[in-house]
Amino acid sequence: MTANELRRMYVNFFEERGHKEIASASLLPENDPTVLFTTAGMHPLVPYLLGESHPQGRRLTDIQKCVRTGDIEEVGDDTHLTFFEMMGNWSLGDYFKEEAISMSFDFLTNVLNIPVERLAVTVFEGDSLVPKDIETGTIWKNKGLKEEQIFYYGRDENWWGPAGQTGPCGPDTEIFYDMGRPRCSADCGPSCKCGKYVEIWNNVFMQFKKEADGSFKELEQKNVDTGMGFERVLTIFNGKTNVYDTELFVPVMTCLNNLICGLKKEMSVRDKRIICEHIRAVCFILGDSRKISPSNTEQGYILRRLIRRMIRLFKKAGIDHNFLCDLARVIIGQYKDIYMELGENEDFIADQLQKEFELFTKTLDAGLKKAGKYLESVGANGILDGGSAFKLYDTYGFPIEFTCELAQEKGYSVDLEEFQNKYSEHQIKSRKGAGEKFRGGLADNSIQTARLHTATHLLNGALRRVLGDEVYQRGSNITPERLRFDFSFNRKVTEKELAEISRIVNEAIEKKIEVSMKEMEIEEAYQAGAIGVFSGKYEEKVKVYSIPGYSKEICGGPHAGNTGELGAFKIIKEEASSAGVRRIKAVILCEA
C-alpha cells in the first residue's frame, strides 16, 4: 500500500458515506492560545464543534497536518514524530457512537483487511461522576470482538476534555492493532508499553458538558471527533517495524546517506533518523502560508530548536557544510503535489535554513570557547562537572557526546550522572510547560473572544486602508483579555499611522454596524471582494463575514452581532514579529 493509496482510500471511504472532504488547515491554529501548533484535526473545527454551522455540512473528513513537540527527545526511535498527518472524520450533531464505530470497524476490516482477531479496543470504565460506557462496549461485541479484546480504563486513558475547567467533553474508544507478540504479563493490555498493542485510531464522543460545579450535563449537540495516525497505519500495514523504512522517509534518508558517504566519522542510525524527521517538520513549518521564521519565542523557538538540533548532529559528525537545503529539496519535491504551499514557499524555506545555519555556526564557535574555559578549570580529579556540561548543552546546544569528546581530547572525563540529573530536571520542567501549552482542545469561545475576533477583522481592514493592499494577515492569537495580530509589512508602523488605524476601527464601533454572515461559493466570495488569509486553502463553500464599509473576510467565526458591542478599541503595542512581519497587540474596552 502506497502513501497516496492510503490517503485516497480513507477519504473515498468517508465520502461514500456522506462526508465532505475539507482542506488541511494551517499548522498555526487561528485564535487558539492553548497551543502553538495544530496538534489534531479538530483544532480548525473548534467553532463548529461548539455549535457553528459548517458550510460543508455536518459530516466532514480530511487529512490534517499536525505538529506535536511534547516528546521531541524521543524522536529517533521507531514511532515518535514531531510532524505527522492525521486522518479524521467528524459528525457535527449528526451520527453518534453506533454509526461512528461501525464505520471505523468497516474501514479497518473490509478496506484495510485487518482480521478481527488482530484488533483490541479500550472503553471508558465509568466513575462516580459519569457511568460506564456500556453502549460502546456492546457495540464492539456486536461487531464480533471477544471479551478479551475489550479493555475498560478510567479517565486517564479513555476520557477527553474539557480543555479548561468547563465545556464539552466525553468518553472515547481507542482502537489498537495487536502486533502478535506474546503478552508481557497477565495484566498486559493496550495501556501496557511493551509493544504488543499499537494504537491506530481514536473515536471521541463529545457527549457531556462539564459545569462549573463539577457536574456533567448531556450536550444537546453531540459530536464525534476521530483521529487516525497516517504514518503509523502506513508503517504497520506495509509490514515495517519503523516509519523510516516507509516511502515517507526512504528518499530523504537515501539523500542523507549519499551526502555523508565517505566521511571519517560514522553518523549513528538514531542521529540520521532525527535529521530526516526534523527536516520534514521544519519544511512544513517554514512552508506554511503564515511564514513563521526561527526566533526565541513560541512557534519560532520550536522551529529554531529543530533546525539547531540538526546542525548539532552534523557538527558532531565533523560536517561543517550546510546540507539542510539539499535535504529540504527532497522533502519539498516529495510533498509539493499534495501540499502546494511547500512548492510555493521553496525559496523562503531555503533562505531561512541558510540564515539559521550561519547564525548558529557563530553560536557554536562561542560555545567552543566557553567549553575551553570549563575544561581549563577542571580539578585534579580530571572530571568536568555535570553542571557545566549541561550549560554547554542548554545554552550552546552541545550534545553530551560532543562535550565528552572535547574532554577526552584533554585526557578528562565528564560527570555523566550529574549531567543526567540536570537534564532530567530540565526535561520535567519542559514537559510540564509543554503540557500547559500543548494540551490542545477547544479554545475559549466566550462572548468576549467573539468580540475580539470581530476586532481583528476591523483592524485588518484599517491596516489595509492606511498601509496599502500589500498588507495581509499572517496570524492572530486571541485570549479573553487581548488580541494579537500579525501582518505582512516591511517597516515599523509610525505613531501617526497607528493613530489613524485606531480611529478607523473606533469609527466602525461607534457606528454600531450589524455584522452579517453569508455562505458563498469560494469564487463568488472573491468576486464579492472578500479577502482570506490563505488563498487556495478553502473549501468550495465558505462563510463570509461582512462589516459594510470596513471589512469583508472569509472566516469560520464566531463574531459579535454588532460592532457596537466592542465598546472601544485601543492599540497597546506595535512591534516586529519576524522578517517582513509586524505584530499589533490591542484590547477592547467594552462592558462585561
AA identity, residue 69: T
Q: 36: closest CA among 230, 229, 306?
A: 306
| Cα of 26 vs its chain's centroid, Å | 9
Strand order in the sheet with 541-547: 516-521, 541-547, 551-554
Could you tell me what percentage of the chain is helix, strand and coil, using 3-state DSSP and rounding each to the nearest 5? 45, 20, 35
Given a contact cutoff of 8 angstroms between Cβ atoms, the answer to whether 290 and 475 are in contact is: yes
Dihedral sign from CA coordinates of 470, 475, 479, 484: negative
DSSP assignment letter at 163: S
Joined grid coordinates for residue 293: 521564521
Strand order in the sheet with 473-478: 473-478, 483-488, 581-588, 569-578
278 is an annotated ligand-binding site residue: no
Report cis status (omega within 30 of 0) of the bond before 162: yes
AA identity, residue 494: T
80 is an annotated ligand-binding site residue: no
19 is an annotated ligand-binding site residue: no
Q: How far apart are CA 579 and CA 6, in angstroms?
A: 38
DSSP assignment letter at 547: E
Q: How far apart are CA 202 and CA 383, in angstroms?
A: 50
| Cα of 372 vs its chain's centroid, Å | 39
Given a contact cutoff of 8 angstroms between Cβ atoms, the answer to whether 3 and 45 are in contact is: no
Residue 511 Cα distances to 502, 505, 565, angstroms: 14, 10, 11
54 is an annotated ligand-binding site residue: no
Kindly give the pairing relationship between strand 150-153 and strand 119-124. Answer: parallel
Q: How far apart are CA 357 and CA 321, in angstroms?
A: 9
Dihedral sign from CA coordinates of 164, 165, 170, 172: positive
Give the CB-side neighbour count of residue 57, counting CA atoms within 13 A.
Answer: 14
AA identity, residue 224: V
Beta carbons within 10 angstroms of residue 86's beta carbon: 22
Q: How far apart are CA 156 and CA 174, in angstroms?
A: 12
Q: How far apart are CA 98 and CA 375, in angstroms?
A: 66
Kindly give the pairing relationship between strand 216-229 and strand 197-210. Answer: antiparallel
Q: 65: closest CA among 273, 275, 225, 281?
A: 281
Q: How far apart are CA 104 and CA 19, in angstroms?
A: 14
DSSP assignment letter at 148: G
Beta carbons within 10 angstroms of residue 465's beta carbon: 14
Question: Packing angle between helix 400-409 and helix 298-316, nearest 10 degrees?
Answer: 40
Given a contact cutoff of 8 angstroms between Cβ atoms, the answer to whether 483 and 32 are in contact is: no
Residue set of the binding site for Zn(2+): 453, 457, 555, 559
Residue set of the binding site: 453, 457, 555, 559
